[in-house]
Amino acid sequence: MIALLRIFMVAIFAVLMFVFGCGYCLFSPRNPKHVFRFGRYFGAMHRVFGIKLELRLPEDAYKRGQAVYIANHQNSWDLFTISSAVTPSVVTVGKKSLLWLPLFGQIYWLTGNILIDRANRSKAMGTIDQVIDKMKESSLSVWMFPEGTRSRGRGLMPFKTGAFHAAVGAETPIIPIVCSTTQDKIKLNRWNNGHVIIEMLPPVDTSQYGKTDVRKLAELCRAQMEEKLKDLDDEVDARNTADGVKN
């Protein structure tokens, strides 16, 4: 019964977002400010799924300059959890195939996010160059999932280098964001799905890295995120155990 209620509420939310969201965005299509606004809307849906979400952002998170944000990519729950960490003047970079997802794909494009063809390496790198140019021409920041695919409980996957090429090329820091593990921990038919913690890590300076060093930079960031993910998972497990929530 709980699962059916949640599915019904998500369906209503999706229709409202598509009808009113797309209509709203058409007044200023592909304006980056929409990403922050709609990220908050989607993130607020965590309550519908019985998730206790803790968002750990530094005090200056909304006042920072231009950066490349990177985050771990787990599953479809990211839409209702880690989207809460999107800050103003940030657009995400996603797979071109997202455009064909019913309802979501259209609003994803209209809000100003960037779509790249990851299946075609030359096109993907060409798009990264466009991202760099766009960042240099504006105060825009970008958000990327360096794993390039959903991990689905396999831990933090190896990082692709696109985000790090963008940061080095645009001469901006990298800001990692880590969400505790959600795979197999959220049940549609369970009222209380326990805790999820999202934490923004300190900026990683990229000024000492060149184009030939992006792999080294990627591994540095991945090591920091992997360590933080373990810490967050341990904390979440302890909290859930105390609350009587089973994984």
pLDDT on residue 239: 96
Amino acid letter, 147: E
DSSP 8-state code for residue 204: B
CATH number at residue 138: 3.40.1130
Provide the residue range defining the domain that includes 229. 2-243
- Strand pairing of 68-71 and 114-116? unpaired
Phi, then psi, of 229 in degrees rounded to 5 = -60, -45
Q: What is the pTM of this model?
A: 0.91
Per-residue pLDDT tens for 162-180? 999 999 999 999 999 999 9
How many domains does the structure of the chain reveal? 1
User: Could you tell me which residue, 245 or 72, shows the higher pLDDT?
Assistant: 72
Per-residue pLDDT tens for 176-229? 999 999 999 999 999 999 999 999 999 999 999 998 999 999 999 999 999 999
Phi, then psi, of 162 in degrees rounded to 5 = -55, -45
pLDDT on residue 43: 95
**Residue 123 clears pLDDT 70, i.e. is over it:** no
Per-residue pLDDT tens for 85-112? 999 999 988 777 878 887 778 888 888 8
Contact criterion met (CB below 8 Å) for 65 and 102: no
- Strand pairing of 195-200 and 174-179? antiparallel
3-class DSSP assignment, residue 115: strand
